[in-house]
Amino acid sequence: MTHPRYTRLLDSLPSTVPFVGPEVIERTTGQPFSARLGANENIFGPSPTALEALRQADAEIWKYPDSASHDLKSEIAAQNGIAPENIVIGEGVDGLLGYLARMMIEQGDTVVTSDGAYPTFNYHVAGFGGVLHKVPFKDDFEDLDALITRAAEVDAKLLYLSNPDNPMGTYLSGTTIADALDRLPKGCLMILDEAYIELAPTDARADIAIEDPRVIRMRSMSKAYGLAGARVGYALGAAELIKNFDKIRNHFGLNRSAQHAALAALQDTEWLAHIQSQVSHSRDRLSQIALDNSLTPIPSATNFVTMDCGRDGDYAAAVVRELGARGIFARMPGVAPLNRCIRISCGPDAALDLFAAALPQALKAAL
Amino acid sequence: MTHPRYTRLLDSLPSTVPFVGPEVIERTTGQPFSARLGANENIFGPSPTALEALRQADAEIWKYPDSASHDLKSEIAAQNGIAPENIVIGEGVDGLLGYLARMMIEQGDTVVTSDGAYPTFNYHVAGFGGVLHKVPFKDDFEDLDALITRAAEVDAKLLYLSNPDNPMGTYLSGTTIADALDRLPKGCLMILDEAYIELAPTDARADIAIEDPRVIRMRSMSKAYGLAGARVGYALGAAELIKNFDKIRNHFGLNRSAQHAALAALQDTEWLAHIQSQVSHSRDRLSQIALDNSLTPIPSATNFVTMDCGRDGDYAAAVVRELGARGIFARMPGVAPLNRCIRISCGPDAALDLFAAALPQALKAAL
């Protein structure tokens, strides 16, 4: 009997699934988590007006979404002082990273990122046959100079920088990034992943002209805006670059209610301020919990705190495992030396209480 | 200043956006539609339990979706007597068609479809550099024998067949399709798009073993189940084929509330029966409206009725335009000879009343 003929690239890709969500772990262990602190979700939740927008939009869920996301783009344009033509909306930043990799990467093309940075980006690059070059973090920061140097060495088409970064939670100043653009090698596009930018100090924001063809910025509705389940991300960039997404994207890929919720969430600046305050408080408390347990919290510009457990990756992995056994969903960086740490999401005090209670036992059990 | 370096393929793709949604038309004309009968949405709406599932899930929209869509897959598996490993869920059938094209098509690979069939499939094939070979409809039916013959001639990797078909609304018997599989050329995968299958006579369903590697079936939550805005489609096929989607798909691309709504919608078989009855009534009424206006309705196995206007494509296009000017959103097939027709979605009597009132004027104005 005849079998499908895949592309050579597909045949070469690994068939392991690198994305293990908490539900998958819960089903595997048969034990539900009592505190979901591993995925940097916003446990404080979205704006009440976003929830109300969902409720209203759900009544018209029989309609296809607006393929142009007109209203959502208009709001983003107004907030950022740019044109709708500078914005593309996608099925999360994940979806947009996939589209961008498809637009730029032919087999053998080179891409530079930090070793231990966002694995989903790497997944998409590899999925289009790109060759990844990884630069180590430097003192728990992404090393922009080294990234640029490496990009020049390997003639990279893409350079990925997250600011603030995941998984360490540190950030570079916007000035540092804007200044570095002039050193970016010719023909290299910087992907500036700002998924956590709304939770960072204001000096993290880079002042870059929207029509600058050297950069595309990624923004998320999943973090500060608390809409991770809605799957809405957006990218900001030069109109010519943004227009090219329309050549390949799933034009009707966005959930219609999610479009409405994202619009309402962006408009509720009061709720955003509330979340920023809650996250700030939560970061402080997580840092104190770390210190109370002789761990070293890394100063965070995000909605998580990465904690140095002071030993190797095996130990941190054991801590994550032991936390899991005690109902706490946590994650950790994937590569050394970052993997001496565990990473804990911010959340309401009730969730942090559970973490604070479990951590001493987990640390002991992991020894 | 340096510019991004796109792939050669991307540079070669057209930058026109082929997907004009009704909202885009409304914004262009400045006139909202009073009856939305052009996109084959299910205006009767989804099951009330699906709406209730949305409401409940929305409260946890801060959580990422289950990347494995475990519960939804379990229900689909149970309903179809197959395993979860035979199912992949995607961002609508559109999303799944895009993934499949990516899995199969390298530049220059050949694909066979019917001339005038689903343009989004063509878009995805072209988007990966595939070469489309189009076979004419035969008497308003997709011509399966001719498709198979052409597939053999051009060594096609993919053969696209929709059953029931869009845009004509006709169908082939399941037996015809199942029998044809033995004539499918070696190395050619049939995509059997069954987006409308729940609205078709039962003899449209093809009895094909789920592990048959020659076929992948596409199903939609957008038509009979009334969840077009949710963006949920699924594909059924051999486990080895289905597994390969995990190598490339956006693992967290599905809206979390949509997963819950789709599950509830599938479980509400009573509502499905209600919709089937409503659609059947609506088809009859649309056919009568066509006859009353000297148009020839084509017998439909879907939630739309395609009506032969008895002249050429220019005339049908004028009818669609004149309907639009009277607040009726309609569409029509894109190529001759199918484009002698207009295509009207089923809907509640109130919407059909508006269509019935506008049609005589539109037909006259289009002359």
| CB–CB contact B64 A21 (8 Å) | yes
Instruction: Give A-chain residues touching B15 at CB under 8 angstroms.
Output: 243-244, 246-247
Residue B230: partners with Cβ closer than 8 Å, 6 or more residues away: A61, A255, A256, A257, B221, B222, B255, B257, B258, B261, B262
Q: Tell me the pLDDT band of B20, cut-offs 50, 70 and 90.
A: confident
ipTM above 0.95, yes or no: yes
Smallest CA–CA distance, residue A93 to chain B, in Å, is 10
pLDDT digits (tens, 9 = 90+) for B169-214: 999 999 999 999 999 999 999 999 999 999 999 999 999 999 999 9
pLDDT of B2 higher than 90? no
Question: Which of B2, B3, B213 has its CB closest to that of A3?
Answer: B213
Give Cα B141 to chain centroid, integer Å: 16
With contact defined as beta carbons under 8 Å apart, do B268 and B49 qualify?
yes
pLDDT of B17 higher than 80? no
Residue B349: partners with Cβ closer than 8 Å, 6 or more residues away: B285
Burial of B293 (0-12, 13-18, 19+ CB in 10 A): middle
B56: contact with A, CB 8 A cutoff: no
Smallest CA–CA distance, residue B278 to chain A, in Å, is 15
Q: Tell me the pLDDT band of A19, cut-offs 50, 70 and 90.
A: confident
- How far apart, in whole angstroms, are the C-alpha atoms of residue A3 and residue A10? 15
pLDDT digits (tens, 9 = 90+) for A260-312: 999 999 999 999 999 999 999 999 999 999 999 999 999 999 999 999 999 99
Tell me the C-alpha to C-alpha distance, in Å, between residue B200 and each of A91, A324, B79, B279, B330: 32, 48, 17, 10, 22
- How far apart, in whole angstroms, are the C-alpha atoms of residue A25 and residue A20? 7
Mark which residues 16-45 of B lie under 8 Å from A by CB. 17, 19-21, 23-24, 27, 36, 39, 41-45
A57: contact with B, CB 8 A cutoff: yes
With contact defined as beta carbons under 8 Å apart, do B158 and B105 qualify?
yes
pLDDT of A15 higher than 90? no
CATH topology of domain A63-267: Aspartate Aminotransferase; domain 2 (3.40.640)
Burial of A337 (0-12, 13-18, 19+ CB in 10 A): middle
Q: Which residues pair with B219 in a beta bridge?
A: B234
- How far apart, in whole angstroms, are the C-alpha atoms of residue A24 and residue A11? 26
Average pLDDT, rounded, for chain A: 97
Q: Which CATH number fits domain B64-268: 3.40.50.720, 3.40.50.300, 1.10.287.70, 3.40.640.10?
A: 3.40.640.10
| CB–CB contact B5 A54 (8 Å) | no
CATH architecture of B8-45+270-366: Alpha-Beta Complex (3.90)
* Beta strand segments in B180-336, E: 189-193, 215-220, 233-236, 296-297, 304-308, 328-329
pLDDT digits (tens, 9 = 90+) for A96-116: 999 999 999 999 999 999 999
For chain B, residues classed under CATH 3.90.1150.10 are: 8-45+270-366
Q: Tell me the Cα Rg of chain A.
A: 21
Q: Prior bond to B164 cis, omega within 30?
A: yes
Average pLDDT, rounded, for chain B: 97
pLDDT of B135 higher than 70? yes
| CB–CB contact A4 B92 (8 Å) | no
Q: Residue range A238-256: average pLDDT? A: 97
- How far apart, in whole angstroms, are the C-alpha atoms of residue A261 and residue A52? 8
| CB–CB contact B15 A243 (8 Å) | yes
Tell me the C-alpha to C-alpha distance, in Å, between residue B224 and each of B57, B255, B277, B346: 22, 20, 11, 11
Q: Which residues pair with B159 in a beta bridge?
A: B112, B190
Quote the pLDDT of residue A244.
Answer: 97
pLDDT of B146 higher than 90? yes
Smallest CA–CA distance, residue A42 to chain B, in Å, is 6
Q: Which residues pair with A304 in a beta bridge?
A: A345
Residue B37 corresponds to which tokens in the numbers above? 């009968």
Q: Residue range B276-286: average pLDDT? A: 98
Burial of B30 (0-12, 13-18, 19+ CB in 10 A): exposed
Q: Specify the DSSP class assigned to residue B16.
A: -
| CB–CB contact B212 A45 (8 Å) | no
For chain A, residues classed under CATH 3.40.640.10 are: 63-267
Residue A286 corresponds to which tokens in the numbers above? 């997580």
Quote the pLDDT of residue B1.
Answer: 60
Quote the pLDDT of residue A335.
Answer: 97
pLDDT of B338 higher than 90? yes
Instruction: Give B-chain residues touching A46 at CB under 8 angstroms.
Output: 61-62
Q: Tell me the pLDDT band of A1, cut-offs 50, 70 and 90.
A: low
**Other residues' Cβ atoms within 10 Å of the Cβ of residue B27:** 15
Mark which residues 256-285 of B lie under 8 Å from A by CB. 256-258, 261
The residue of chain B nearest to residue A26, with distances taken between CA atoms, is B66
Q: Which candidate, A23, A41, A57, A35, places its Cα nearest to that of A275?
A: A41
Question: Which of B6, B229, B255 has its CB closest to that of A103?
Answer: B6
Burial of A318 (0-12, 13-18, 19+ CB in 10 A): middle
With contact defined as beta carbons under 8 Å apart, do B319 and B366 qualify?
yes
- How far apart, in whole angstroms, are the C-alpha atoms of residue B3 and residue A226? 34
With contact defined as beta carbons under 8 Å apart, do A85 and A243 qualify?
yes
Residue A50 corresponds to which tokens in the numbers above? 């976003």
Instruction: Give A-chain residues touching B243 at CB under 8 angstroms.
Output: 15
Q: Residue range A197-218: average pLDDT? A: 98
The residue of chain B nearest to residue A6, with distances taken between CA atoms, is B104
pLDDT digits (tens, 9 = 90+) for B239-269: 999 999 999 999 999 999 999 999 999 999 9
Instruction: Give A-chain residues touching B4 at CB under 8 angstroms.
Output: 104, 157, 187, 189, 213, 241
- How far apart, in whole angstroms, are the C-alpha atoms of residue B105 and residue A227? 34
Q: Residue range B19-47: average pLDDT? A: 94
Mark which residues 202-231 of A lie under 8 Å from B by CB. 212-214, 222, 226-231
- How far apart, in whole angstroms, are the C-alpha atoms of residue A303 and residue A40? 6
Q: Residue range B300-319: average pLDDT? A: 98
